[in-house]
Structure 1
Amino acid sequence: MDADHAAADELRRLRGGFDAAAEDYQRTRPVCPPRLFDDLVEQAGLEPGDRVVEIGCGTGQATVPLARRGLAVTAVELGAGLAAVARRRLAGFPAAEVVTSSFEDWRPGEAPVDAVVAVNSLHWVDPALRYSKPHDLLRPGSALAVADCLWARPTDADPFWTEVQEDYQAVGFEGGPPPPPERIGPRHLPPEAESLFEEVASLRYPFEVVYRADDYVANLATQSGTNALGEPRRTEFLTRVRHRLRSLGDPRLTATFVGLLTVGRRR
């Protein structure tokens, strides 16, 4: 197997791993601030009743805010467990539906649509279809909205956030600690999207979430970086963090994030 095929297989494995703990995912994953969704609707030129396709909805962290704003959302989710939670949460929104499928394999019924939205999900889509398929789904002048939620670590953060890096290092976790929020700038559409979309907005939204100690560990267990460790390093990592928190009396933890929103108009 060549390196490209191996990387593609690993991508498929990791993106399918979120389904293993759908309820923990729903309970502990941070949700972008309401202002991000207000700006998304405004910058994309959306109105109540407009049709939106959402890529990789998870348990509906973005789907519910979009449905509350009157949009008719078709959410495509690979994981059956995640999709089931999303359907439960969207039961009060008859204009919203959840389809269990990968975005690559999904075949839309009606087209074009008024917007395609991806929140913490576009990087999981096959690069060959990542921008071309949203482009094909959209009518001219409609929008692709991409949002992400990135971890940050303020310089004055609780010492836990520095000390826990020892646990990451002990198991060979790839990458380094999160940067301060001010160093996370707006995100722009990449060069491969420029022939398909004209960028019209690139915005950022710092925010905080307070976690109970057990919920923070549950959140770590849902992350792709943790699952990429494989067993037994994944178990060792979670055990180390759990022991560290217990030694501190299971404190509540204030986690810092930066939400990012990029909107492109279909050419």
Structure 2
Amino acid sequence: MKQTGSQRRTTNFQKFMADNSSLRYTFNEAASIYNEARPRYPDDLFSALIDSTEISAGAKLLEIGPGTGQATKPLAEKGFDITAIELGEALAEEAKQELRDYKNIQIIKGAFEEITLPAASFDLVFAATSFHWIDPSLKFTKTHELLKKKGHLAIIHTHHISDERGDIFFNVSQSIFDRYDFTDKHRKPELPKNKDLKADDIDGRLFRLIHFKRFPIVITYSAKSFVQLLGTFSNHLAATKEVRHAFFKEIENLINDQFQGKIDKHFSMSLTVAEKL
């Protein structure tokens, strides 16, 4: 019997979850340190988002995967009404506590793919370092359905980039990452340069790209704070506690012994904005 569109979406999502659920849920384990450890999004990024979409106070926003609210709070302060869907129960509770003073924020616990919301009800759907975790068969079609006419989709990513001075720590530490099988198999053997980062691939049948910008930042980490950051990444969280402890100890010792106890880490936050067709 031929499947309906809804049945096909359900089947695709079930397959996606079977392949990815273990990693999608790992962030929940880092809920207590996530807000402190993860790099902050720069104010200029939010200004660019608002300027490119021309949204104003009172606009209806939907956030996919707010974590502990690092992107939610700056936009709530601008007067937008935000509905945020968070998969992790502990992360959702942390977000509710962090954002408890904002009456214009609603946190919903659940998977974006499964939550039912009114069609054509949002001016902007945005995802900050979370869009790649959404079922590919649904992420553009469902956001398109939820957006009002001429509404916008904004995708924010956090990239590890080259310091363009030799990337000494990255190169020296790779043997440790390799030994614990934490090297990203899809990443090139060198870090990308900020200028080489590209806009997200957008479904051109549903959206048109209207804006792309990169926001490079540098954060100085102590050995302890860098290990804390590593403790919020999905592949590390998926490992056993014993493996994580041994890996973190080697990285901490490397920074203390060879880098005088601190390193400068280069990131770039990319903003891709698309308009609903």
What TM-score, normalized by structure 1, do the two folds share?
Answer: 0.89
Q: Which residue of 2 aligns with 1:128?
A: 137
- Structure 1 counterpart of 2:208, which letter? E
Alignment of 1:1-267 (within 5 A): 8-108=17-117, 111-156=120-165, 159-175=168-184, 176=187, 179-190=191-202, 193-229=203-239, 233-248=243-258, 251-267=261-277
Residue 258 of structure 1 aligns to a residue whose secondary structure is strand
- Structure 1 counterpart of 2:85, which letter? V
- Structure 1 counterpart of 2:123, which letter? D
Query: 162-171 vs 69-78, which deviates more?
Result: 162-171
Tell me how far apart the structure 1 counterparts of residues 80 and 190 of structure 2 sit (CA, whole Å). Answer: 34
> Deviation digits for residues 127-155 of structure 1, max 9, x if unmatched?
11111111000011010011101011213
Tell me how far apart the structure 2 counterparts of residues 217 and 46 of structure 1 sit (CA, whole Å). Answer: 38
Tell me how far apart the structure 2 counterparts of residues 110 and 93 of structure 1 sit (CA, whole Å). Answer: 25
Tell me how far apart the structure 2 counterparts of residues 197 and 251 of structure 1 sit (CA, whole Å). Answer: 46
Whether the 8 Å contact between 2:58 and 2:81 is mirrored in structure 1 is yes
Whether the 8 Å contact between 1:181 and 1:257 is mirrored in structure 2 is no
Percent identical:
29
- Structure 2 counterpart of 1:12, which letter? S
- The alignment of Structure 1 onto Structure 2 pairs a total of residues equal to 262
- Structure 1 counterpart of 2:114, which letter? D
Tell me how far apart the structure 1 counterparts of residues 146 and 14 of structure 2 sit (CA, whole Å). Answer: 27
Whether the 8 Å contact between 1:189 and 1:262 is mirrored in structure 2 is no
Name the Cα RMSD after superposition.
2.3
Tell me how far apart the structure 2 counterparts of residues 151 and 178 of structure 1 sit (CA, whole Å). Answer: 10
Whether the 8 Å contact between 1:199 and 1:265 is mirrored in structure 2 is yes
Whether the 8 Å contact between 1:50 and 1:71 is mirrored in structure 2 is yes
Tell me how far apart the structure 2 counterparts of residues 229 and 155 of structure 1 sit (CA, whole Å). Answer: 31
Whether the 8 Å contact between 1:135 and 1:266 is mirrored in structure 2 is yes
Query: 214-223 vs 239-248, which deviates more?
Result: 239-248
Tell me how far apart the structure 2 counterparts of residues 72 and 110 of structure 1 sit (CA, whole Å). Answer: 17
Unaligned 5+ segments in structure 1 are none
Cα offset for 1:253? 2.3
Tell me how far apart the structure 2 counterparts of residues 184 and 211 of structure 1 sit (CA, whole Å). Answer: 25
> Deviation digits for residues 33-72 of structure 1, max 9, x if unmatched?
1111111111112101101000000000110111112111
